[in-house]
Amino acid sequence: MKDIPQPLSSIKSPFLAEVTTFIRTRGLAYSTEKAYISWIKRFILFSRYQHRNQINARDIQQFLEHLVTTKNVSPNTQRTALNALVFLCREMLNQDTSLLNFKRSKRSTKLPEVFSHEEAMSIICLLQYPCRLVAQLMYGSGLRVNEALRLRINDINFDTLSITVRNGKGNKDRKTLLSPHIIADLKHQIESVTALYKLDTKNGYGEVYMPYALQRKYPNHAKSLGWQYLFPAKNISKDPRSNRLMRHHLTDRSVQQQVATAVKQAKILKKANCHTFRHSFATRLLEAGTDLRNIQELLGHSDIKTTQIYTHVVGTHFSGVKSPLDQV
């Protein structure tokens, strides 16, 4: 249950518990919380602070330059560290961060690896159920692996052929495509979940974890069928916050391992993983002439620049540009 926020009482450091509380009051995603806390810990250790009163925004510059000159981090990694430390110093400690001036990482940004359609389908065919259906959602709907695993029955809309992604990256909800090709498999999966839910309910369980916003909005829905995970875990486990026994979803690691094995079995030499299906989804849409703004919305990117990377993946040959060798 690594995607469930840990109780504040389990955090040994009073200061980090205070930081965590502040992050949660701002409504940031749990993935952001974990990243920020990790960078704040590293900053504190690097600066050898012994008390919160020693924390100084001017020390951020030295830490960020250390990441570049010693650790050789990528621009994105350095940017995440900067965001975390500016959040700490400016938002929480009310310190001025406007004068930060540091050496920025200039490591080249690599283009994302992408499957051809044949490669994607060959990998999917090698996966076992239900990981095969998870991969189909990643490739056919552009979902991140954890977005697929967190889907609830209510999130699938067969009438509009759409999927609702709740609490995605950036703690945002969005809608994306549902391929008619997998409707029969999804309905079969929902039937399996329904049977498991009835058995759990009979045995005194049947409750699932609900994120804060959903728990407030739907306080009685934790035991309803519609909010059951589409890909439930095999076993009942203890919720670390409430200590109640409930059924969570499959772990991302179980899917990642199957995909890694399938990539090898398909003899695909690309450096590929679950996220490659999402990159491939965007690339296929762009090749088909889908507007970049629409792709941005389907992927849930907050900045169009993030989506524009796929124009470089597709290349100019899809816009009609020909090589001089092809000219007669």
Q: Return the structure tokens found at 149.
A: 């695993």
Active-site residue, from 150, 247, 279, 301: 301
Is 198 catalytic? The answer is no
Give me the catalytic one of 34, 169, 221, 241: 169
Biggest CA pair distance of the chain: 75
State the SS3 of the chain: CCCCCCCHHHCCCHHHHHHHHHHHHCCCCHHHHHHHHHHHHHHHHHHCCCCHHHCCHHHHHHHHHHHHHCCCCCHHHHHHHHHHHHHHHHHHCCCCCCCCCCCCCCCCCCCCCCCCHHHHHHHHHHCCCCHHHHHHHHHHHCCCHHHHHCCEHHHEECCCCEEEECCCCCCCCEEEECCHHHHHHHHHHHHHHHHHHHHHHHCCCCCCCCCHHHHHHCCCHHHCHHHCECCEEEEEEECCCCCCEEEEECCHHHHHHHHHHHHHHCCCCCCCCHHHHHHHHHHHHHHCCCCHHHHHHHHCCCCHHHHHHHHHHHCHHHHCCCCHHHCC
State the catalytic residue, choosing from 310, 312, 317, 322: 310
Do the beta carbons of residue 164 and residue 178 sit within 8 Å? no
301 catalytically annotated: yes
Choosing from 275, 279, 293, 317, which is the catalytic residue?
A: 275
Region class of 132: left (phi > 0), else alpha (psi between -120 and 50), else beta: alpha
Q: Is 169 a catalytic residue?
A: yes
- Concerning whether 2 is annotated as a catalytic residue, the answer is no
Q: Is-catalytic flag, 117? A: no
Identified catalytic residue from 174, 278, 279, 284: 278
The single residue of 144, 174, 249, 279 carrying the catalytic annotation is 144
Q: Please give the positions annotated as active site.
A: 144, 169, 275, 278, 301, 310
